[in-house]
């Protein structure tokens, strides 16, 4: 088994990784690209209360997770930037935040590849995607709580 430079075990070439996001039907600028409520609900087996809790926790933790990305970038620590982006990416996958997930994935890859010159711009794109996500999640919480 091959080991990449991040000390994580790489998947054999003949094994495909599962795709964590369903992007079919998502068009740029569409709400499902920012937050796909239907997919997020599927991920919690239809438990609306659990999804509200997960979204609430994400909103509380998102700022500190983004701070970790910026701090690692400011310190020039690509490994820490990769880890911070990976952590954020996992949280974004849980809530089907497709656009922000893609931005976190891009940042993680750039940091892993040592592409320092591209990390700052990718961090900014991630921050912008999270800025578009936050109002969608807050609106979801308002409507889900009212229902």
> Would the pLDDT of 12 be above 90?
no
**For range 18-27, the mean pLDDT:** 35
> Would the pLDDT of 138 be above 70?
yes
**For range 119-147, the mean pLDDT:** 93
Task: For residue 3, give Cα distances in angstroms to 79, 85, 96.
Answer: 16, 20, 29
Given a contact cutoff of 8 angstroms between Cβ atoms, the answer to whether 135 and 116 are in contact is: no
The pair of three-digit structure tokens given for residue 40, joined into one six-digit string = 């997020």
pLDDT confidence of residue 22: 34
Given a contact cutoff of 8 angstroms between Cβ atoms, the answer to whether 51 and 40 are in contact is: yes
What does the domain layout of the chain look like in residue ranges?
A: 34-146
Task: For residue 115, give Cα distances in angstroms to 79, 108, 129, 133.
Answer: 11, 10, 21, 26
pLDDT confidence of residue 19: 34
Topology adopted by domain 34-146: 1.20.120
* Block residue for tokens 């039907």: 25
pLDDT confidence of residue 65: 95
**For range 7-35, the mean pLDDT:** 42
Of residues 147 and 98, which shows the higher confidence score?
Answer: 98
Residues 75-126: tens digit of each pLDDT: 999 999 999 999 999 999 999 999 999 999 999 999 999 999 999 999 999 9
Residues 42-77: tens digit of each pLDDT: 999 999 999 999 999 999 999 999 999 999 988 999
How many other C-beta atoms lie within 10 A of the C-beta of residue 103?
25
Confidence of residue 31 (pLDDT cuts 50, 70, 90): low
């Amino acid at each position: 088994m091959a080991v990449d430079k991040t000390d994580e075990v790489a998947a054999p070439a003949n094994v495909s990784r599962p795709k964590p996001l369903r992007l079919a039907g998502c068009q740029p600028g569409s709400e499902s690209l920012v937050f796909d409520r239907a997919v997020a609900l599927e991920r919690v087996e239809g438990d609306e209360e659990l999804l509200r809790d997960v979204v609430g926790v994400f909103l509380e933790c998102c700022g500190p997770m983004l701070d970790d990305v910026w701090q690692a970038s400011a310190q020039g620590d690509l490994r820490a930037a990769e880890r911070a982006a990976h952590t954020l990416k996992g949280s974004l996958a849980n809530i089907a935040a497709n656009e922000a997930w893609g931005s976190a994935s891009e940042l993680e890859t750039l940091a892993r590849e040592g592409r320092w010159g591209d990390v700052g711009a990718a961090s900014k794109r991630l921050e912008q995607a999270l800025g578009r996500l936050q109002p969608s999640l807050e609106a979801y919480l308002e409507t889900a709580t009212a229902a």
